[in-house]
Structure 1
Amino acid sequence: MVRPPRRAAALAAAGAALLAVAGCTGGPGAAVPALTPPALGTPAPPPSGREGMLQLPLSAYGLSSDESARQQQAVRALTADCMHRAGYTSFTGDDAFDGGSGRVSDANAMPGGAFGYLPATVAPVQGFHAARPPAAPAPPRAPSSEAERGAAEDCVRKALAALPTGDRAGSDLVTRLFGESQAATAKDARVVAATRAWAGCMTAAGYPDATPDGLVARYRGPGSPGRDELAAAEADAACTTGSNLAGIWFAVIAGYQRQQIAANQERLAAYKDEVARQVAGYARLIGS
């Protein structure tokens, strides 16, 4: 299978609103409205970390996973059309990218984070390591020549350039708001108390000075999880349940995000409309 330049592949695969959780700070002079501690009710943890992130209010803005897949489908279609015009009539959209393996399940994709460890059933198997996706359905097709490889890379670049342009300012706003909501959540007294209860539980389990993010950073890496990692993940899962850290963390961040959306309602609505136009453009490109 023809592999496009790394940057092109990354751009074509860009999408899920989940990626916005990496968020940072706003631009110079950006006004940051005051956030007040939201009411929680009875916070319940989500089934998994990925589902929790995708259910957050700000995740409704930007490309969804399905829309991101449509974006890549448009790139595949444009690339195949370009290759046919270049004389490679047997080239298909599936040859444009290494499709890789399938999507890992929600439970396995994001079990650990600042919210603790979810779900407990994954801990004794996966530890803090990233889940392995299922095997690709078919082996990749190798390019017939260096000329075909070069033509495919050129066609991918042209396909990416032909995509409807997104609202960069809107995307930057969502990223900034995500970052601000995460910062406010980390300082929220209820999250601080739940994290302290989690840490006390972990100390009693033999893991003094542990932090949720620190455990992920310590163990996640190449290779398979060892006994120590699996034991730490199981302790983390038990302490997350006992402290309700995940339930409180997700309820708090969702409350802050609802305040942010209310304060930026007009701009976010315009961004959502722009994303809808962008997705409609993908459909037109696929159809043509």
Structure 2
Amino acid sequence: MKRLRPAAVAVAVLATAVGAAGCNDTVSSGAGKAVSDQLKADTSNWPAATPQQGLAKGLSLPLEEYMQTYEQTVVIAQAVRNLQSQCMARFGFDFRPPPAGNTPPPNDNDANIERRYGISDRTIAEKHGYGLGEPQQTGTRMPAISKAAMVVLSGRSSGEKNAKAATSYQGKDIPEGGCSKWAIDRIDAGDLDFSLAGKLNQESLIRSQESPEVSAALKKWSACMKEKGYTVDLPFNAVDLAPVEGSQKQIQVATADIDCKKSTDLVKIWFGQDAGLQRQQIDENQLALEEAKKKNDSAVKAAEKALRS
């Protein structure tokens, strides 16, 4: 999840389920019932804040504290959509995007702890191998929108990125950047940036893999796989042994992969090294990480307030 770009929101809201939030949950932001009632999406298939089963059950990395949860993403997205609808209504347009949160990802945040060290849930592997099965998507179709409505939504004369700014519609002033930017600015979500946490997250994974402890555990895992008839050096490469998603052969490789992770304690060893590195990273980047987190928390609170109103 990178920086939110308000100018692109008009396109994003029509193209993605999260849409106008432009950002990346179980309802973990502390949203109350009044807010939850506004999240009209089916939350039953949303990812949990921490894995509920498998070898990664209960694991959470330190940097996750500085990432946006899926629920926070949806809260912001829904607030922006509601505000966009209000703004568009002032110009006579009935603009009703579908509820945010109908296309949940398999993980709660960018750490992707469930598959960070390769697959870790045998129950899923027994059904889908290295795949996830068909994603559950409901009510995601975006509304048809006229050219005139797109002008008001985007604040541009043709809705195109390089088109000149449109300042009015039928005698009414269009907010700078259109209803899209106006909605984002109302909850101060235009400057959310999680790139530092994302960068550190990737670095810790790479560095932890190179640690003596993880290197030794990987060798044991590879030897275990060899005993089961599979020659592979890293869990990330195991899928290449059976690339057809969900095939019986892939399921056999995937379950062997997880069994070898369990017998060698690979996931916990790797997690331990990864978490240790992240704690160091946080110490070294505390101020910048806290500033990004503060902006996110502020945007979430503003979004929750907007949803209650």
CA distance in 1, matches of 2:103, 2:192: 30
**Closer, same or farther in 2 for the Cα pair 1:258/1:46, shift >3 Å?**
farther
User: 1:267 corresponds to which residue?
Assistant: 288
Tell me the CA shift for residue 210 of structure 1: 4.4
Q: Choose which of 77, 82, 87 in structure 2 pairs with 1:82.
A: 87
User: 1:12 corresponds to which residue?
Assistant: 21
Residue 47 of structure 1 pairs with residue 60 of structure 2? no
Q: Choose which of 116, 128, 131 in structure 1 pairs with 2:130.
A: 128
User: 2:77 corresponds to which residue?
Assistant: 72
User: 2:163 corresponds to which residue?
Assistant: none
1:116 touches 1:240 (CA, 8 Å); kept in 2?
no
Matches within 5 A, 1:191-270: 191-216=214-239, 224-270=245-291
- Partner SS for 2:68: coil
Q: Match for 1:235: what amino acid? A: A
CA distance in 2, matches of 1:180, 1:105: 19
1:57 touches 1:258 (CA, 8 Å); kept in 2?
yes
Give the total of aligned pairs: 246
CA distance in 1, matches of 2:270, 2:52: 10
CA distance in 2, matches of 1:116, 1:80: 41
1:8 touches 1:160 (CA, 8 Å); kept in 2?
no
TM-score by length of 2: 0.65
Matches within 5 A, 1:134-173: 134=136, 136=138, 138=139, 140=141, 143=144, 146-147=146-147, 150=150, 154=154, 155-156=179-180, 158-160=182-184, 163-164=187-188, 165-168=190-193, 171-173=194-196
CA distance in 2, matches of 1:207, 1:101: 35
Tell me the CA shift for residue 105 of structure 1: 8.3
Q: Match for 2:307: what amino acid? A: I
Tell me the CA shift for residue 209 of structure 1: 2.8
Q: Match for 2:93: what amino acid? A: Y
- Partner SS for 1:122: helix
Bigger CA drift: 2-11 or 119-128? 2-11
User: 2:117 corresponds to which residue?
Assistant: 115
Q: Match for 2:196: what amino acid? A: L
CA distance in 1, matches of 2:241, 2:119: 14
Tell me the CA shift for residue 135 of structure 1: 5.0
Tell me the CA shift for residue 281 of structure 1: 2.7
CA distance in 1, matches of 2:113, 2:134: 13
2:128 touches 2:246 (CA, 8 Å); kept in 1?
yes
Tell me the CA shift for residue 200 of structure 1: 0.7
1:46 touches 1:247 (CA, 8 Å); kept in 2?
no
- Partner SS for 2:304: helix
**Closer, same or farther in 2 for the Cα pair 1:214/1:10, shift >3 Å?**
farther
**Closer, same or farther in 2 for the Cα pair 1:142/1:176, shift >3 Å?**
closer
TM-score by length of 1: 0.70
Tell me the CA shift for residue 126 of structure 1: 1.0
Bigger CA drift: 235-244 or 62-71? 62-71
2:88 touches 2:153 (CA, 8 Å); kept in 1?
no
Residues 195-248 of structure 1 deviation map (CA, whole Å, 9 limit, x = unaligned): 11111111111111342111246656xx75112111111111111111111111
User: 2:200 corresponds to which residue?
Assistant: 177
**Closer, same or farther in 2 for the Cα pair 1:182/1:141, shift >3 Å?**
closer
User: 2:63 corresponds to which residue?
Assistant: 58
CA distance in 2, matches of 1:62, 1:113: 17
CA distance in 1, matches of 2:125, 2:262: 13
Choose between structure 1 and 2 for higher RCO, CA contacts under 8 A separated by at least 6 residues.
1
Tell me the CA shift for residue 13 of structure 1: 5.0
User: 2:32 corresponds to which residue?
Assistant: none
**Closer, same or farther in 2 for the Cα pair 1:120/1:103, shift >3 Å?**
same
**Closer, same or farther in 2 for the Cα pair 1:132/1:51, shift >3 Å?**
farther
Query: Gaps (5+ residues) in structure 2?
Result: 1-10, 26-50, 155-178
- Partner SS for 1:87: coil
Query: Gaps (5+ residues) in structure 1?
Result: 17-44
CA distance in 1, matches of 2:192, 2:104: 29
Residues 6-62 of structure 1 deviation map (CA, whole Å, 9 limit, x = unaligned): 48955625237xxxxxxxxxxxxxxxxxxxxxxxxxxxx983488667x11001013
